[in-house]
Chain A
Amino acid sequence: GAGVSQSPSNKVTEKGKDVELRCDPISGHTALYWYRQSLGQGLEFLIYFQGNSAPDKSGLPSDRFSAERTGGSVSTLTIQRTQQEDSAVYLCASSLALGGETQYFGPGTRLLVL
């Protein structure tokens, strides 16, 4: 596609439920990133994919968070047993891995956990 797309754009869920957030990177971009932007905070790095593998999972805040990427394209970020502190905007970005110093961001998914 022309840009990075994310779905849903907004998600309201109840505490304790699981949510899945989806990211469609720019076609041909092999690197994909997930970030979290909480109210009044900067961007917090969550996880990075190179192809289908995630060499660095250190940013995931807890074991309730997981992510996968299939076919080197679409990625899903799953949050299990959501908590109110998970409420944030979840941003996805992609870049060309080779010389791909520029990350292109999607519009984000706004998650509200009640």
Chain B
Amino acid sequence: GEDVEQSLFLSVREGDSSVINCTYTDSSSTYLYWYKQEPGAGLQLLTYIFSNMDMKQDQRLTVLLNKKDKHLSLRIADTQTGDSAIYFCAESLSGGYQKVTFGIGTKLQVIP
């Protein structure tokens, strides 16, 4: 079955780059997502990447996908205190049914 794994915690200094890593098990995953959850709030889609891509950049965010190793990463450049949140990696399979499997989430702490 599907499984998504992430490290639980990451601490970085303001202004540095953050890299949050994720591994998944299902090679037929079509879409891979990064969601952000701020304290007391719901999930917000940050970005997603199709499995036929290996990189996607959106302002300060860079997503890298290594399909061979089933490894996904999210790089946040010039990390700000407002980036402190829990970041969820997620995958969904191809087909009309969009069940999404989430990782446990990585808590990013940005130190001023």
Contact = CB atoms under 8 A, between A and B. Distances in A.
Interface of A: 4, 31, 33, 35, 41-43, 45, 48, 50, 55-56, 91, 93, 95, 97, 100-108
B68 interface: no
Contacts of A107: 41-42
B39 to A, nearest CB: 12
A50 B31 CA distance: 19
Contact of B102 (A43, A56, A104, A106): A43
Interface of B: 4, 30-31, 33, 35, 41-45, 48, 88, 90, 92, 96-105
Contacts of A104: 45
Given A42-B88, A56-B97, A105 B104 contact: no
B105 A91 contact: no
Contact of B101 (A4, A45, A97, A102): A45
Given A42-B88, A42-B105, A102-B48, A108 B42 contact: yes
